[in-house]
Amino acid sequence: MDMTQIINQMIVLFLMMGTGYVCGKIGYMDSDFSKKLTNMILMVTTPAMILASVTVGEVSFSKTVAFEILAAACAVFVVLTPFAYLICKLMRIPAKDFKLYVFMLIFSNTGFMGYPVVATIFGDDAIFLASIFNMIFSIMVYSLGVWLMDSRGGKFNVKTLINPSMISSVLALVIFIFEIKIPAALALTLDSIGSITSPSAMLLIGSSLSLMPVKEIVGEIRLYPFTILKQIIIPFAMFYLFGMFIKDATLLGIMTILIAMPVASIAVMFANQYDGDAKLASKGVFITTMCSFVTIPLLCLFL
């Protein structure tokens, strides 16, 4: 693993995010533009990137690994959920914020930030494995996640799982398993469209952060030990725990990196939708995202 390449890529992502922050501050990326960009990323470029991961070039892993990460992703959430509850109890999180902190510990930004980081460390075809992990993430965030965030008693709705990213993940799995050949022109089109996902996503994260008052954010003291737990201690714990059962280094590394991602930006959307503390969710996203540019390279030293 080339640490220089990883550090350089994290710097590139940071600069992209910084550009988005500036664009947000000067009005080039207002809320209306950001909303449309979000829809384009979720509905067009991310699905294209997922499909391109199995249609362009040679996939370097076996079919067994694909099913192993599916099982591993299920195991991660089974283990991480009670672990998150225990940590929040030990941190003495106030009752009004308890479920939000549990949500932020469990659900990470495995899409917008996870895909480009995984691609940098493990290669473009590893995006396919990350997309399988995100299939389980989607099921969990729209079931357990809604329950945690909705004080009115949110219910799981299977329709929320029918989205372009989930559909493209299933199609990619089918293409991979049955070794379906896609016309070169179509494959290159998917690759070209998918390639704008990472810069667009980082610009979007940056513009979103530009809306938050920095002085208010940095004063949320409890988020600092929370960040150490979420992005260093928990990933290490999961790495050693699942390392006893997972022998494939790539699979274990991808899973660990995805767990170590910052708080999922969907926490803010859910907080707004279900009358939660959107300010606290925004602070969690901001601080963990900023810290990830240090914690992820440090984590990679041990993978």
Number of domains in the chain: 1
Q: Tokens representing 274?
A: 């279900």
Handedness of CA 238, 10, 128, 103 (dihedral sign): positive
User: Does residue 291 sit within a domain?
Assistant: yes
pLDDT value of residue 121: 85
pLDDT tens-digit profile of 32-64?
A: 888 888 889 888 998 898 898 888 776 667 778
Using CA atoms, how far apart are residues 282 and 285, in angstroms rounded to an integer? 5
- Per-residue pLDDT, averaged over 257-275, amounts to 85
User: Does residue 174 sit within a domain?
Assistant: yes
Q: Which stretches within the chain are classed as H helix?
A: 3-26, 31-40, 46-55, 63-90, 95-106, 114-122, 126-140, 146-149, 164-178, 184-194, 197-209, 214-218, 223-228, 234-243, 249-259, 266-273, 278-300
Confidence (pTM): 0.83
pLDDT tens-digit profile of 175-207?
A: 888 888 899 999 999 999 988 988 888 888 788
User: Does residue 151 sit within a domain?
Assistant: yes
Q: Residue 179: left (phi > 0), alpha (psi -120 to 50), or beta?
A: left
Asked if residues 161 and 142 have their Cβ atoms less than 8 Å apart, the reply is: yes
User: Does residue 38 sit within a domain?
Assistant: no
Domain span at 262: 53-183+220-300
Model confidence at 236, pLDDT cuts 50, 70, 90, reads: very high
Asked if residues 105 and 77 have their Cβ atoms less than 8 Å apart, the reply is: no
User: Does residue 232 sit within a domain?
Assistant: yes
> Is 182 exposed, middle or buried (CB count within 10 Å of its CB: 0-12, 13-18, 19+)?
middle
For 35-49, 103-117, 265-279, which range has the lowest pLDDT when averaged over its residues? Answer: 265-279
Residue 117 has pLDDT above 90, yes or no: no
Using CA atoms, how far apart are residues 175 and 30, in angstroms rounded to an integer? 38
User: Does residue 45 sit within a domain?
Assistant: no
Mean pLDDT of the residues in the chain: 86
Using CA atoms, how far apart are residues 76 and 120, in angstroms rounded to an integer? 23
Model confidence at 295, pLDDT cuts 50, 70, 90, reads: very high
Using CA atoms, how far apart are residues 207 and 64, in angstroms rounded to an integer? 40
Angle at which helix 114-122 crosses helix 249-259, to 10 degrees, equals 150
User: Does residue 93 sit within a domain?
Assistant: yes
First to last CA, the chain: 8
Q: Tokens representing 126?
A: 């590893």
For 81-85, 116-120, 248-252, which range has the lowest pLDDT when averaged over its residues? Answer: 116-120
pLDDT tens-digit profile of 146-170?
A: 888 876 655 556 676 777 888 888 8
pLDDT value of residue 152: 61
User: Does residue 18 sit within a domain?
Assistant: no
